């Protein structure tokens, strides 16, 4: 499974709307779409840390790192490169 | 966002600037839209708050032995944002207390799966009776509403286990926080006293609580101070 699919599956597991109402691209802002609740951002941080065996530092807790699937994947990839 | 300026001198030429405004060379300064633009920039964002508050909580609780599956009590809980975030991060169960019907109704509208682990008591927190003290007692945006702070601070301690922890979060007195409340007059309906870190810690200590760590938020639309205290 690609990282994009993995992240998409995690988002879909945490939707606050019914699956059949949901359609979003890799570039869509998942927070602005209203498909996830207000706590999801932190849940996503915890998921990324455990699933990709990394630590997200304070200065990386920027909402722009987590608002689209593309941005999340780019962020994880950049961390993996530096590790 | 990038701002550019050609003015490299120490003194900005205001006469020239206002002349350009008058001549229509730059957009007219519409005070009302300027006000609303600033309001838009400094508006609450729950997703951003979850990240910033989550970061503050992680720093606050780093190296602290949080009891597995902690029982959390939140005083003046509103919609219980802090407790719901703590439960997302650390598991456990929560009890929310607030005497505001609007907040209670709002909580019932937004509660999710974690709602099974949370109870909500719609009552005055000063009249609260608990059968067993909690592992963690917290509040977010409560203490600043009381002129006399000892009583409200003591309530936190009263319901906390001797080996438990308290997390007290208040908006911090800073230029950003003042600007935030300046452009949001609609939420300034009651008493709210912005506290500096120094004053907050003094008040907490004067109330018999033991602060062990304090963290200031970074990157939210106002600054808040979080203080961890021993039970």
pLDDT at A19 over 80: no
Helices and strands, number each (H, E), in chain B:
8, 7
Number of H helices, E strands in chain A: 4, 0
> Got the DSSP string for B44-96?
--HHHHHHHHHHHHHHHHTT--PPSS-EEEEET-TTTHHHHHHHHHH--EEEE
C-alpha B230 chain-centroid distance: 20
Mean pLDDT of A1-21: 87
pLDDT tens figures, B95-118: 999 999 999 999 999 887 777 899
Q: Express as a percent the part of chain B with pLDDT over 70.
A: 94
Domain ranges of chain A: 3-17+25-82
Which residues of chain A from 23 to 82 reach within 8 Å of chain B, CB to CB?
31, 37-43, 45-46, 58, 61-63, 66
Grade residue B173 by pLDDT with cuts at 50, 70 and 90: very high
Q: Is the pLDDT of residue B7 over 70?
A: no
Q: What is the gyration radius of the CA atoms in chain A, in angstroms?
A: 12
Both structure tokens of B10: 């120490």
How distant is the Cα of B88 from the closest Cα of chain A, in angstroms?
A: 7
Find chain A residues with C-beta within 8 A of B112's C-beta: 16, 37, 39
For B64-68, B120-124, B209-213, which range has the lowest pLDDT when averaged over its residues? Answer: B64-68
The string of pLDDT tens digits covering residues A28-68 is 999 999 889 999 999 999 999 999 999 999 999 999 999 99
Where do we find the tokens 């205290």?
B229
Q: Nearest to residue B144, comparing CAs of B194, B187, B209?
A: B194
Please give the average per-residue pLDDT across B201-222, as a whole number: 96
Quote the CATH superfamily of domain A3-17+25-82. Answer: ACP-like (1.10.1200.10)
Model confidence at B19, in pLDDT bands (50, 70, 90)?
confident
Q: Domain B30-230: give its CATH architecture.
A: 3-Layer(aba) Sandwich (3.40)
CB–CB of B53/A47 below 8 Å? no
CB proximity list for B155: less than 8 A, separation 6 or greater: B75, B125, B126, B128
Q: What is the pLDDT of residues B142-162, one digit of tens each?
A: 999 999 999 999 999 999 999
The Cβ-side half-sphere exposure at B58, using a 13 Å CA radius, reads 17
Q: Give residue A82's pLDDT band: very low, low, confident or very high (50, 70, 90).
A: low
Q: Which residues is B171 bridged to in the sheet? A: B224
Q: Does B193 touch chain A (CB under 8 A)?
A: no
Residue B160, strand partner residues: B134
Looking at residues B214-218, what average pLDDT do you find?
A: 97
A39, A43, A58 ranked by CB distance to B55: nearest? A58
**Subunit contact B81:A38, Cβ cutoff 8 A:** yes
Torsion angles phi and psi, residue B88, rounded to 5: -65, -40
Kindly list the residues from chain A whose CB atom is less than 8 angstroms away from the CB atom of residue B47: 31, 38, 40-41, 63
pLDDT at B8 over 70: no
Segment B23-59, tens digit of pLDDT: 877 766 677 888 999 999 999 999 999 999 999 999 9
Q: Which residue has the higher pLDDT, A21 or B218?
A: B218
In a mutagenesis test of the B interface, which of A17, A33, A39 is the best target, namely the one with the most B β-carbons within 10 Å?
Answer: A39
The CA–CA distances, whole Å, from B194 to A25, B158, B204 equal 43, 24, 14
Query: Taking CB atoms and an 8 Å cutoff, what residues of chain B touch A42?
Result: 50-51, 53-54, 85, 88-89
Give residue B15's pLDDT band: very low, low, confident or very high (50, 70, 90): confident
- pLDDT at position B4 is 63
Inform me whether the pLDDT recorded for B141 exceeds 70.
yes
Rounded to whole angstroms, the Cα distance separating A80 from B90 reads 26
For A51, the 3-state DSSP assignment is helix
B127: Cβ contacts below 8 Å, ≥ 6 apart: none
Spatial distance between the Cα atoms of B144 and B151, rounded to a whole number of angstroms: 12
CB contact under 8 A, A41 and B81: no
pLDDT exceeding 90 applies to what percent of chain A?
73
DSSP notation for B90-149: H--EEEEEE--HHHHHHHHHH--GGGGGEEEEES-GGG---SS-EEEEEEES-GGG-SS-
Are B81 and B75 spatial neighbours (Cβ–Cβ below 8 Å)? Answer: no
Q: Identify any residues that bridge with B79 across adjacent strands, giving them in sequence order.
A: none
Query: Which of B1, B47, B78, B94 to mutate to test binding with chain A, by most A CBs within 10 Å of its CB?
Result: B47
């Amino acid at each position: 499974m690609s990282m994009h699919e993995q992240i998409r599956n995690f988002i879909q597991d945490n939707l606050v709307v019914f699956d059949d109402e949901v359609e979003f691209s890799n570039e869509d802002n998942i927070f602005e779409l209203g498909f996830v609740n207000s706590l999801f951002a932190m849940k996503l941080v915890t998921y990324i840390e455990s699933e990709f065996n990394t630590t997200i530092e304070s200065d990386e807790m920027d909402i722009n790192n987590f608002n689209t699937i593309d941005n999340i994947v780019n962020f994880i990839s950049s961390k993996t490169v530096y590790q | 966002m990038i701002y550019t300026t050609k003015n490299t001198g120490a003194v900005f030429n205001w006469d020239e600037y206002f002349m350009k405004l008058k001549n229509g060379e730059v957009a007219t300064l519409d005070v009302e839209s300027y006000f609303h633009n600033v309001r838009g920039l400094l508006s609450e964002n729950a997703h951003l708050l979850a990240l910033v508050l989550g970061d503050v909580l992680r720093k606050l609780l780093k190296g602290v032995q949080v009891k597995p599956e902690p029982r959390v009590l939140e005083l003046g809980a509103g919609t219980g944002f802090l407790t719901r975030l703590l439960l997302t991060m650390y598991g456990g169960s929560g009890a929310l207390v607030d005497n505001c019907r609007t907040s209670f109704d709002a909580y019932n509208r937004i509660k999710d799966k974690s709602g099974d682990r949370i109870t909500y008591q719609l009552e005055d927190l000063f009249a609260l009776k608990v059968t067993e003290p909690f592992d963690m007692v917290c509040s977010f945006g409560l203490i600043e509403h009381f002129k006399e702070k000892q009583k409200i601070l003591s309530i936190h301690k009263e319901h906390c286990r001797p080996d438990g922890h308290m997390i007290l979060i208040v908006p911090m007195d800073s230029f950003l926080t003042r600007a935030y409340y300046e452009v949001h007059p609609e939420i300034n309906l009651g008493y709210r006293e912005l506290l500096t870190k120094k004053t907050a810690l003094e008040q907490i200590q004067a109330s018999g609580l033991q602060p062990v760590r304090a963290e200031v938020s970074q990157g939210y639309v106002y600054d808040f101070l979080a203080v961890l205290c021993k039970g």
